[in-house]
Amino acid sequence: RAAKHEDSDIRGKGLDYALIARDFAMLKWLGANCFRTSHYPYAEEIMDQADQQGFVVIDESPGVGITKVFNYGPVSLAHHKDVMTEMVQRDKNRPSVMIWSVANE
Residue numbers annotated as active site: 105
Determine the Cα–Cα distance for residues 5 and 39; give it in Å rounded to an integer: 8
- For residues 87 and 41, the answer to whether their CB atoms sit within 8 Å is yes
- For residues 73 and 66, the answer to whether their CB atoms sit within 8 Å is no
- For residues 34 and 62, the answer to whether their CB atoms sit within 8 Å is no
Q: Which residues pair with 3 in a beta bridge?
A: 36
User: What number of residues does the chain have?
Assistant: 105
**What backbone phi and psi angles, to 5 degrees, belong to 62?**
-80, 75
